[in-house]
Structure formats: C-alpha cells, structure tokens
Chains A and B, each alone.
Chain A
Amino acid sequence: MKIKHEAIWRELPIAGLIPEGGTAQEYKTGDWRSRRPIWDKEKCKSCLFCWVYCPDSSVLIQDKKMIGIDYDHCKGCGICSQICPPKIGAISMVDEG
C-alpha cells in the first residue's frame, strides 16, 4: 500500500503504521547535501571501506566492485572520503552548487 502525499485521515493505515518495508528509499535525502563526494573510478581499488562506513548506504556496488554513489540519498557527510586510504585517495569532496 502506498500512502499518498497529503492523504486525508480516513485514507491512512491504522495506528500510524507504515504498512511495507524499505520505504526509506523513497525519502530522498540527497538534497540535504552541501558537499558532494566525487568518486575517481581509475584510482579506486574497490576495497569497499567506504561501503562499510557509509551511514546512508549510498555507496553503490555490483559484483563486489564499487560502481558509483547514490546521490539521491547521500547526505554529503564525507565519511567515505575520510575512510578512503590516503594512498588511494579515490573520493574527494567538492562544494555543491
């Protein structure tokens, strides 16, 4: 069941339930970001430290390799660039806008 935006009270599920899983995905937190992580595909060794540490599950991977960043949900905290090993330096932060 999808809860429509601006639903009137009669349309809401009982007891304030959110009657499905994974609904956080629809909540785009990308616009909270003031700094944006830039991923350098060439430098990256796919150690996946950033994937482990990202608090918003915004490091995208496929077949155990990093393939990019989910800018819909990344809040720009910068943990990924901090945790990326200095010798690699595959993620840098730049100002938004």
Chain B
Amino acid sequence: MGKKFVAKTGNETMAEAMRQINPDVVAAYPITPATEIVQIFAQFVADGVVNTEFVATESEHSAMSACIGAAAAGARVMTSTSSQGLALMWEMLYIAAGLRLPIVMPEVNRTLSSPINIHCDHSDTMGARDVGWIQIFSENVQEAYDNLIQAVVIAEEAKLPIMVTTDGFIISHGMESMEMIPDKEVTDFIGEYKPAYSVLDVDNPFTVGAIDFTDYYFEHKRAQIEAMSEAKKIIPQVQQRFGERFGRKYAAIEEYRLSDAEVAILVLGSTAGTAKVVIDELREKGHPVGMLKLRVFRPFPFEEIVRALSSVKVLAVLDRSDGVAGIGGPVFSEVRSAMYELDIRPRIVNYVYGLGGRNIDLALIQSVFTDLEKIAKTGKAEKMVSYLGVRE
C-alpha cells in the first residue's frame, strides 16, 4: 500500500488529533456518542503525554463557560460534545463567538430529544447553525481527523470558534482505515498560538464582555459577521496548505462526478460516502448523475455552490434534520435561496432522511436519483419536500 494506515474509530481519531494538538485547556462533560473523545483524551492527560489542563465540569454549559474563560486568558482551548450537550451550551456558544475566541470542538452529530434517541442526525448541529461558529462536516474518519487539525489553524486565523462534526455512531464508533500525520508535523502545521488578547496580560488591562447598548451592539455584530466572511477566505488557504503538506486535498465543497451531471444531490457528512457508490453504479449504466458534498456549512459557501450547480437540471438537497416549521430542512432552504441568484436555475427538491439514525442505504439514495430523472423528463415535481425512509 505504501501508506501507513491504521484502523481507528472516529472518536479515537478525534482524541488522537487532540493529543497531537496538545491544547492548553480542555473543559468537558461527557455525552453519548462523543464521550470517548474526551475519555481517551483524559487518559492522555493522566498519562502525562499532553500538557493540557483538564477541567471536568458538571455540565456542558459549565464546560463551554470554562472554555470561554480559558480562551479569554489566551489559552488554546478544546472541548467536545453532542446533541443535548450542545443544546445545553447554547447561550455560551454565542458568547464564545461574540468574544472571537478560537475554541475548537469535535462535535458528534446526534439527534435531539424528544423522543429520546442517541443516534445520528444533524438536528443538534443545524440548530446551532446561527450561533456564529464555523461548522465543518466530515464524511469519514480520515476527513474528521484532517478537518480537526485544519480547524485549529482556521479558528486561530479567523479568530472564531469552530466545530468539526462526525456522524454519531456511523463515524464516531465506526472503525475505518485512516492515516495519521506524525506528531511533529501536526505541531509544525498548527504552529504556536498567538491569541488576539489575553486577560492575563496585566501590563495592558482591558475589559472583555462589557455591556453594549443600542449605541454599539450593532457595530460589534457587524464586525463579527465580517469575521465570518473573512473566514471564507481563510478556510481555503488553510485547506490548500494542508493539501500541499500532507497530500490530501480539501475545499469547502466537494464535487463528485458533477461537471457533466444533469441531476445531482447535495449531501453532508457520512451519507456522501454511500452516495458515491450509488453514483458510480448509475454512471456505469449511463446515467448522468453527480453529487455536491458540502463540507463547510458555516460560513455558507454559496458562491461555490451556485457555481458548481449552475448547469444541473434537477437537484435534490438531502437534509438529515428538519426545520419542522419551515420549508423542509435547513440546508434545502439555504441552497434554494442561494440558487435564486441564477436566472436559469435547477429545479430543487428536498429529501429529509435518516432522522434518529434511520439507515440510509443504497436503494434509498438510488430512489432519489430515479425521482430526479423523472422530474427532469416531465418537468414536474410532485412534492417539494419528501421524507426518505419513513414508513408512510
């Protein structure tokens, strides 16, 4: 094979990446299916293989609060969570972003109660889509590892917090072949952290988290929005540097057999891997099908999406969560809105799938392509939003 592959689960991989990153502070609270990440990392702390100050907190709200405090003190900070844990961090997520603290968080996608369920969908992450964090989705274990190492640099250059997500159980607990980067090279790639500010700088006292009324809040928010817009430029730069150094190329979006595709799907996360197999099979039979995998969801790469999909006739956006009260899932809403830029645009439909960990198999994905080809032929879509794989 030439390359040195190891077999690791997503969670083991994230913990190993954290060991290599060797953050100053990790504050966390366990939750399925992310528990192992910090559990394994805590062992690294106990064994003295990292220099991290580990803070075991009493809740995720406290974990994120401790992360914010440590990051404001100028530390390189990480944590990890999932589902209800991310939900409990809610108000602190906004504060981490507003204070421009580059906290890095492996987040394992799991659905939200009720009904209680520990399995994968994107409800947790999508619910946090507007909190001001960069969000990167991972298709497989390798990508999760690579994304997390890039995330440190992206966050610190953009001065924004970042979550790198893996699909619960499918990736977090699935063992796959992957290639690790030697420790020293990770250290070199992420470099030394130079915080934008540190409250421990006693020679230059300042106030962080001051109140902001009607006179300044809007200006400060506008600056934060600009930072996210700047992150759009920083992300591809970091991805390119990573690719040049380690040979694995990444971008905000991944186009799979898309350039001449007439019908296409847009997917995030682990399902993209399954979809590639379906696309290969259909292509072999002469069907002009393709896929756009969205790796970076925040900041939303709408220019890239519009460019990549401009010549597609029919597009299905696959959402692993539902807006419940909107039009289909959140990815659908945003992609459809982005595509409105074009005078001649694809017909776009939505499939909500895989809620609560419902299996998304080859046949289901193939059925989407069958639908899309029918729409392409007839020019008519029976439904704008469909639920894929639900008993009805």
Write out the residue numbers on chain B whose beta carbons fall within 8 Å of the beta carbon of A64: none
Q: Are B206 and A8 in contact (CB under 8 A)?
A: no
Q: Are A17 and B222 in contact (CB under 8 A)?
A: no
Write out the residue numbers on chain A whose beta carbons fall within 8 Å of the beta carbon of B222: 9
Nearest Cβ on chain B to A41's Cβ, whole angstroms: 35
Inter-chain CA distance A30–B206, complex, in Å, is 24
Nearest Cβ on chain B to A31's Cβ, whole angstroms: 17
Nearest Cβ on chain B to A50's Cβ, whole angstroms: 28
Inter-chain CA distance A10–B226, complex, in Å, is 9
Q: Is B8 an interface residue (CB 8 A)?
A: no
Binary B-proximity of A6-27 (CB < 8 A = 1, otherwise 0)? 0111101011111111010000
Inter-chain CA distance A8–B226, complex, in Å, is 13
Q: Are B197 and A14 in contact (CB under 8 A)?
A: yes
Q: Are B98 and A18 in contact (CB under 8 A)?
A: no
Inter-chain CA distance A47–B306, complex, in Å, is 75
Q: Are A15 and B216 in contact (CB under 8 A)?
A: no
Which stretch of B58-66, B207-215, B260-268 is in the interface?
B207-215
Q: Are A15 and B207 in contact (CB under 8 A)?
A: no
Binary A-proximity of B146-186 (CB < 8 A = 1, otherwise 0)? 00000000000001000000000000000000000000000
Q: Are A17 and B207 in contact (CB under 8 A)?
A: yes
Q: Is B115 an interface residue (CB 8 A)?
A: no
Residues of B320-361 whose CB lies within 8 A of A:
none
Write out the residue numbers on chain B whose beta carbons fall within 8 Å of the beta carbon of A20: 204-206
Chain B CB within 10 A, most for which of A9, A15, A20, A21: A15
- Residue of A whose beta carbon sits closest to that of B159: A14
Task: Knowing A17-B197, A18-B210, say if A12 contacts B216 (CB, 8 Å).
Answer: yes
- Number of B residues whose C-beta is below 8 Å from A? 22
Q: Are A15 and B206 in contact (CB under 8 A)?
A: no
Q: Are B223 and A12 in contact (CB under 8 A)?
A: yes
Inter-chain CA distance A92–B137, complex, in Å, is 68
Nearest Cβ on chain A to B197's Cβ, whole angstroms: 6
Q: Are B98 and A15 in contact (CB under 8 A)?
A: yes
- Residue of A whose beta carbon sits closest to that of B227: A14
Write out the residue numbers on chain B whose beta carbons fall within 8 Å of the beta carbon of A23: 207
Inter-chain CA distance A75–B100, complex, in Å, is 35
Write out the residue numbers on chain B whose beta carbons fall within 8 Å of the beta carbon of A9: 218-220, 222-223, 226
Nearest Cβ on chain B to A22's Cβ, whole angstroms: 8
Inter-chain CA distance A16–B210, complex, in Å, is 7
Inter-chain CA distance A15–B209, complex, in Å, is 8
Inter-chain CA distance A12–B216, complex, in Å, is 9
Write out the residue numbers on chain A whose beta carbons fall within 8 Å of the beta carbon of B216: 12, 16
Chain B residues engaging chain A, CB cutoff 8 angstroms: 98-101, 159, 196-197, 204-210, 212, 216, 218-220, 222-223, 226
A-B contact pairs, 6 of them (CB 8 A): A14-B100, A14-B196, A15-B159, A15-B196, A17-B197, A23-B207
Chain A residues engaging chain B, CB cutoff 8 angstroms: 7-10, 12, 14-21, 23
Shortest 10 CB-CB contacts between residues of A and residues of B: A21-B205, A9-B219, A18-B207, A9-B222, A15-B100, A16-B220, A19-B206, A15-B99, A9-B223, A18-B210
